[in-house]
Amino acid sequence: MDHDAYSNTYIREVLDSTKTVAMVGASPKWNRPSYFVMKYLQAKGYRVIPVNPGAAGQEILGETVYGDLKSVPEPIDMVDIFRNSEAAGPIADEAIEIGAKTVWMQLTVRNDAAAARAEAAGMNVVMDRCPKIEFARLNGEIGWSGVNSGVISSKRRRARA
C-alpha cells in the first residue's frame, strides 16, 4: 500500500465496509476535532464508540467511553486514532489484537512501522487522513465548502445518510 497516495476506490471500500468505529482519543469537549468527527460519522449512520482513559465511564454523544480498546464489549471494524504518531504504535497493536479490520490515523498522524505490522495482520491502514473529510470528499459534500474533491462523475451524487 502506497501511504503517500491512496486511491478513491481504496478509501471508499474502507468506509463502505465499516459499521462500527472505535475512536481512540475522543474528547468530551464539543469544540475539539475528535468531537466534530464523531458527531459527523454518527449522522452518516456509523456507530462510534469513544475510547479515552481520562474520560472512561463518562458519555460522549450518547455513547459510553471506555478506557482502552480491549474493554470495548463489542466487535470493532475500524480504530480511528486521535493521538500523536508515537502513541499510534501501541494503539495499532491493540487494534490487531481485538481483530479490527482497519487502522485509521488522523491528519498529521503517521507511524509506518505500526502500519506495516497491521498490514502483515491483514488489516487496512489509512494514515494522515480524516474519515470525516474523506467521506465528505467522496460523497459530494466537501465541495460545498469550496474544497477540491478530486472526484468527477456524470452520475447524481447521493450520500449515505
Partner 1 sequence: MTQESPYGFETLAIHAGAAPDPATGARSTPIYQTTAYVFDDADHAASLFNLQDYGYIYSRLGNPTVSVLEERVAALEGGRGATATASGHAAQMLAMFTLMEPGASFVAANKLYGGSVTQFMRTFQKFGWDCEMVNVDDFAAVEAALKKPTVKALFCESLANPGGVISDLEPLAELAHAAGVPLIVDNTMASPALCRPFEWGADIVIHSTTKFISGHGNAMGGMVVDSGNFNWAQNDKFPSLTQPEPAYHGLNFFETFGDLAMTVHGHAVGLRDLGPTMAPMNAFLAITGSETLPLRMERHCQNAAEIVQFLNTHPKVAWVSYAGLEGNKYKPLADKYLGGKAGSVFTFGVKGGYEAGLKLVESCELFSHLANLGDTRSLILHPASTTHRQLTEEQQISAGAGPDVLRISIGLETAKDLIADLEQAMAGA
- The helix (H) or strand (E) run that includes residue 105 is strand 102-105
| Pick 69 or 136: Cβ nearer partner 1 | 136
- In whole angstroms, give the CA distance from residue 110 to residue 91: 12
Cβ atoms < 10 Å from Cβ of 73: 8
| Pick 7 or 64: Cβ nearer partner 1 | 7
Q: How far is the CB of 113 from partner 1 (least distance, A)?
A: 23
Q: How far is the CB of 30 from partner 1 (least distance, A)?
A: 7
Q: How far is the CB of 74 from partner 1 (least distance, A)?
A: 25
CB 83 within 8 A of CB 105: no
Strand partners, 21: 48, 78
Strand partners, 49: 22
- The helix (H) or strand (E) run that includes residue 124 is strand 124-126
Q: How far is CA 101 from the centre of its chain?
A: 11
- In whole angstroms, give the CA distance from residue 117 to residue 42: 29
| Pick 73 or 154: Cβ nearer partner 1 | 154
Q: How far is the CB of 121 from partner 1 (least distance, A)?
A: 28
Q: How far is the CB of 6 from partner 1 (least distance, A)?
A: 11
| Pick 126 or 142: Cβ nearer partner 1 | 142
Give me the residues that bind partner 1 (CB under 8 A), please: 30-31, 33, 35-36, 39-40, 43, 107-108, 130, 133, 136, 140-150, 152-158
Q: Which three cell numbers stand for residue 3?
A: 501511504
| Pick 75 or 143: Cβ nearer partner 1 | 143
